[in-house]
Structure 1
């Protein structure tokens, strides 16, 4: 099967009005799969993420990934002409993605209902801390707050210590993925009702805390029906035994998921624990749960006799799911990552090489593709504005007037 490198979203135009993580990550995924994404940035420094974490020549390395394939347009949204240009772009777009506080776009006359009155087919993905309705809608909401309110922070960490955060901005990223899913469903509905010219658009209302809450498995029915509040349990998975993190003799951490009934038997036999394999009470998960500590102690005692490599060899031979906890250094040389081509080699403008994570998911016929790294601030000003009919003289005047 031949591959279409233009991407499955070729022909889809996206306007990104947002900064930092949730909105830009949502738009990034659409750009990776062929959509034309025009990112509006403030002329005064652009998206703050340009200065986050590790920098190269004054620009974040993160930026090269977060804004790949996007076109950067600077607009002063405090200027009437800047808002006018944004409105023109929004009405040309298939999808508008924004992550301002609710009400900001309305003040700019760029709100969903305002644009819908002019183009009923428009799709707007709105990402915010608490959604577009409710008593908290006007409050600032970052990913950390969404993770806390959505339940993730409460169950993360060890029982005798304060909650911990995941080492990445998971709340923002999960919200972004919900935005992508919502946008694709909205596009499908619009196509089914007449397409861009006649179809029905809609608003995709994504709240960060709700996106996290959506991941919380059986949390609600367990509390409602049984009064169970899921608590922090470190590296274990309560109620599913065994599934935990253990330490090998060379100080490495290994995750062993022996919680399937047949898998558990293979695990303990591989450990030489025939007594556990023959214990009828341990044949099913509900029986093993009653002996969680004993089982974990037995696995840890076995790991104390193994290096990480020997443990993985034994468990692989026994067909027991297990894995070392990887750092990025481990990933960069791992045969599985390399076989799946999970790194892309690129160059910065000065010729310096840089690796980026490859695009996921992998589509067999229309895979994603990196066309260029994150753009310089305002790199596409002339191109975008000329596409709207502005002349070179008009663009020069707007630069002079502080619009761009």
Structure 2
């Protein structure tokens, strides 16, 4: 089995950073998973029942489902019952050694436990303290429970899916959790940058950070869907017409499907010259002559392209479009990603030996020339690192074993 790397053995731009992680499910753990991949020592604190994500997906061992194992890889696992005073004291001692404290509890719950920002800052004044909430504490929905489905609904995803498909629907990925997790990551890093710029560890200025799913997803959705609604008065409804056009879908070919974007003037001109020269003459040539004109009737354009793509096989179209430098791709299943020649050529997947057998992790998607990240080991069993982590605090593993009933 490959245990999570020790702090001194970690590599990456965040090596030397210690993160106390009280997050669960995917939003917070996805942010801290990336921190661990980038070299941070992430200590995942779990209650005796464990993170719910242990149980919601499949794995060879109970309590070690695939989603949990993936988003908690490379972390150290400590089980603490924060209803107990001695375990609260243990957490305080860990906080005193940390650079980052991140949690995903409701504001009222973390405050009741005694680990709100003011309490944590009293222990470690330079700490970066990141709250992962559903809704901002500054608004009327503060402390309201939030899950990916409900946030997708609130931020308009099912609505725009309905514009495209005729009926509202969720997108088939937990987008809100992952987008919010990325926001939690970069917000925490920016706060750490500020601390470094104002004096660094122990001397720099720590601060409290709040990252919320609803606000993060509202910002994300309105990048393009704000469209003309940002003006006063609005010039369009709040949706991007091309993105919700019902004909915007993979094109059916004579033997399958293909994704292709014959969109800008360069791609359009190359396509009609090679495939549909008749579209360049007469009234049609004029009405389709510029990107602006095509964008105003994009549904009709998609429909005509759809009829054209039916005339050849997927591979024939791939060969033709690639020769014309028009963006295109075959449709692949998520299973096929594990055998993707590009991903395998760059060593994207990292295999780690664990107590459950070998695990093939999707690896680090970013590249650094001087401080590359990597998967720093397996995900922890519940409380796996209690003795080791707590021994580092007081140097007495036997006494800790008596105090903390850590699962073996």
**TM-aligned CA distance change 1:270 to 1:331, over 3 Å:** farther
Name 1:344's counterpart in structure 2: 350
Give yes or no for the alignment of 1:275 onto 2:279: yes
Name 2:329's counterpart in structure 1: 323
Q: How does 1:205-216 map to 2 (within 5 A)?
A: 205-216=210-221
Contiguous gaps of at least 5 residues in structure 2 = 1-8
Name 1:266's counterpart in structure 2: 270
**TM-aligned CA distance change 1:315 to 1:294, over 3 Å:** same
Give yes or no for the alignment of 1:127 onto 2:132: yes
Name 1:64's counterpart in structure 2: 69
Contact 1:5 1:367 in 2 (8 A): no
TM value normalised by structure 2 = 0.89
Q: How does 1:164-175 map to 2 (within 5 A)?
A: 164-175=169-180
Contiguous gaps of at least 5 residues in structure 1 = none
Name 2:15's counterpart in structure 1: 10
Q: Distance in 2 between matches of 1:87 and 1:212?
A: 33
Q: Distance in 2 between matches of 1:129 and 1:64?
A: 24
Name 1:39's counterpart in structure 2: 44
Give yes or no for the alignment of 1:186 onto 2:191: yes
Contact 1:243 1:256 in 2 (8 A): no
Q: Distance in 2 between matches of 1:403 and 1:339?
A: 39
Higher mean C-alpha deviation, range 114-123 or range 104-113: 114-123
Contact 1:81 1:403 in 2 (8 A): no
Q: Distance in 2 between matches of 1:87 and 1:360?
A: 34
Name 2:318's counterpart in structure 1: 312
Deviation at 1:300, TM superposition (A): 1.1
**TM-aligned CA distance change 1:242 to 1:50, over 3 Å:** closer
Q: In structure 2, the residue corresponding to 1:8 is in which secondary structure?
A: coil
**TM-aligned CA distance change 1:94 to 1:277, over 3 Å:** farther
Name 1:247's counterpart in structure 2: 252
Q: Distance in 1 between matches of 2:346 and 2:228?
A: 39
Name 1:374's counterpart in structure 2: 379
Q: In structure 2, the residue corresponding to 1:56 is in which secondary structure?
A: coil
Name 1:85's counterpart in structure 2: 90
Q: Distance in 1 between matches of 2:24 and 2:94?
A: 18
**TM-aligned CA distance change 1:104 to 1:189, over 3 Å:** same
Name 1:105's counterpart in structure 2: 110
Deviation at 1:124, TM superposition (A): 1.0
Name 1:229's counterpart in structure 2: 237
Give yes or no for the alignment of 1:394 onto 2:399: yes
**TM-aligned CA distance change 1:122 to 1:158, over 3 Å:** same
Q: How does 1:144-183 map to 2 (within 5 A)?
A: 144-159=149-164, 161-183=166-188
Q: Distance in 1 between matches of 2:96 and 2:155?
A: 34
Q: In structure 1, the residue corresponding to 2:251 is in which secondary structure?
A: strand
Contact 2:384 2:407 in 1 (8 A): no
Q: In structure 2, the residue corresponding to 1:38 is in which secondary structure?
A: strand
Q: Distance in 2 between matches of 1:160 and 1:360?
A: 32
Deviation at 1:396, TM superposition (A): 3.0
**TM-aligned CA distance change 1:66 to 1:290, over 3 Å:** closer
Higher mean C-alpha deviation, range 77-86 or range 154-163: 154-163
Name 1:335's counterpart in structure 2: 341
Name 2:122's counterpart in structure 1: 117
Contact 1:244 1:257 in 2 (8 A): no
Deviation at 1:162, TM superposition (A): 2.7
**TM-aligned CA distance change 1:149 to 1:274, over 3 Å:** same
**TM-aligned CA distance change 1:71 to 1:187, over 3 Å:** same
Contact 1:159 1:231 in 2 (8 A): no
Name 1:19's counterpart in structure 2: 24
Q: Distance in 2 between matches of 1:169 and 1:363?
A: 28
